[in-house]
């Protein structure tokens, strides 16, 4: 009896979590007339794709999708590499003042983005990188690497010293030991960080809104947010835009779901 109660609770929880996505998908394929007559909960009579096509063409969604993929991919890869280098020095190298450096990284993770806007804005103006995807990539690489460094420092701090000593006896230097021993063994944890960094960066809205003002450089979340106030946007087109914004991140998560599960499981076993 208790097992069935737990199963029913899980089903209800899953339905509550998926309901907003299902509602968006349901209304994305309705015509405005169907939405007006049947409301948001009625099933569509057919697949109405005009809303998706019109939104795609109106915002040049192909360009926005490429910008988001480029920024999120570069940030995820760069932040993982930077986190590994920092954590290798702090977790295994045991540099002086390690604890205080980790405290700085921890405090950096708690800073709201609103507190960073003004200094970053003037910095971007001074170096000529305002309205540049490169500047946004650099910003989020540093922000994500702060969290990655804090996490990986704890992981690499428990790295078996015997393995590194054996590598040193075989003639492997610190740089070689990092890329041939530490990174392959820590690959599950690094894979989890890579997935999270990509999704977190994909969903970022505030800083790209401030630093990417031209239409050619905007990301998917910025394009969705800007068009929400458009008077020509009806409910079905709003649902279509939300669906197009959600699907790439969900697809990325589903593709790497096995990698994410394996990384979390291995980390738990360790």
pLDDT score, position 230: 54
Q: Which residues does 217 contact at the CB level (< 8 Å), separation at least 6?
A: 67, 131, 132, 133
229 part of a folded domain: yes
Burial 145-155 (b: 16+ CB within 10 A, else e): bbbbbbbbbee
53 part of a folded domain: no
Query: What is the C-alpha separation between 77 and 80, in angstroms, rounded?
Result: 5
Question: Do 28 and 83 fall into the same domain?
Answer: no
Q: With contact defined as beta carbons under 8 Å apart, do 148 and 80 qualify? A: yes
Question: Do 171 and 42 fall into the same domain?
Answer: no
Query: What is the C-alpha separation between 249 and 72, in angstroms, rounded?
Result: 10
Question: Do 15 and 82 fall into the same domain?
Answer: no
Question: Do 169 and 88 fall into the same domain?
Answer: yes
Q: What is the pLDDT along the chain (270 residues), one digit of tens a residue?
A: 566 677 777 777 777 777 888 888 888 888 888 888 888 888 888 888 888 888 888 889 999 999 999 999 999 999 999 999 999 988 887 677 888 888 888 888 888 888 999 999 999 999 999 999 999 999 999 999 999 998 898 888 888 888 888 888 888 888 899 998 999 988 888 988 999 999 999 999 999 999 999 989 999 999 888 776 555 567 788 888 888 888 888 888 788 777 666 655 554 444
Q: With contact defined as beta carbons under 8 Å apart, do 215 and 58 qualify? A: no
**Domain extent for 262:** 61-267
Q: With contact defined as beta carbons under 8 Å apart, do 88 and 98 qualify? A: no
Question: Do 122 and 182 fall into the same domain?
Answer: yes
Dmax (CA) of the chain: 77
118 part of a folded domain: yes
54 part of a folded domain: no
Query: What is the C-alpha separation between 160 and 90, in angstroms, rounded?
Result: 15
Identify the CATH number of the domain in which residue 188 sits: 1.10.3720.10
253 part of a folded domain: yes
Q: Is 111 left (phi over 0), alpha (psi -120 to 50) or beta?
A: beta
Give, as one character, the DSSP assignment of residue 92.
I
Q: How many domains does the chain have?
A: 2
The answer to pTM > 0.85 is: yes
Q: Is 234 left (phi over 0), alpha (psi -120 to 50) or beta?
A: beta
Instruction: Outline where 93-186 has alpha helix (H).
Output: 98-110, 114-127, 133-156, 161-169, 174-177, 183-185
Question: Do 164 and 32 fall into the same domain?
Answer: no
Q: Which residue has the tokens 């360009």?
A: 63
pLDDT score, position 268: 42
Question: Do 37 and 69 fall into the same domain?
Answer: no
| SS3 state at 116 | helix
Question: Do 215 and 260 fall into the same domain?
Answer: yes
Question: Do 134 and 5 fall into the same domain?
Answer: no
The DSSP-derived string for 193-255 is: HHHHHHHHHHT--HHHHHH--STTT--HHHHHHHHTT-TT--HHHHHHHHHHHHHHHHHHHHH
8 part of a folded domain: yes
């Amino acid at each position: 009896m208790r097992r069935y109660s737990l199963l029913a609770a899980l089903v209800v929880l899953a339905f509550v979590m998926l309901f907003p996505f299902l509602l968006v998908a349901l209304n994305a394929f309705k015509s405005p007339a169907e939405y007006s007559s049947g409301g948001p909960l009625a099933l569509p009579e057919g697949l109405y794709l005009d809303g998706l096509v019109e939104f795609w063409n109106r915002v040049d969604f192909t360009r926005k999708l490429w910008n988001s993929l480029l920024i999120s991919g570069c940030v995820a890869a760069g932040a993982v590499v930077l986190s590994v280098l920092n954590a290798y020095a702090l977790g295994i190298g045991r540099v002086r003042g390690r604890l205080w450096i980790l405290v700085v990284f921890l405090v950096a993770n708690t800073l709201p983005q609103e507190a960073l806007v003004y200094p970053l804005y003037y910095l971007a103006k001074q170096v000529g990188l305002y309205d540049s995807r490169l500047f946004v990539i650099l910003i989020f690489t540093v922000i994500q690497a702060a969290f990655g460094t804090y996490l990986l420092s704890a992981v690499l701090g428990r790295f078996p010293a015997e393995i590194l000593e054996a590598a040193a006896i075989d003639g492997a230097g610190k740089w070689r030991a990092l890329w041939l021993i530490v990174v392959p063994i820590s690959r599950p944890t690094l894979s989890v960080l890579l997935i999270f960094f990509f999704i977190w960066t994909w969903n970022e809205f505030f800083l790209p809104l401030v630093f990417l003002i031209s239409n050619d450089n905007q990301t998917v979340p910025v394009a969705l947010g800007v068009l929400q106030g458009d008077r020509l946007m009806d409910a079905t087109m709003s649902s279509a835009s939300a669906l197009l914004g959600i699907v790439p991140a969900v697809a990325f998560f589903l593709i790497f779901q096995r990698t994410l599960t394996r990384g979390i499981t291995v980390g738990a076993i360790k």
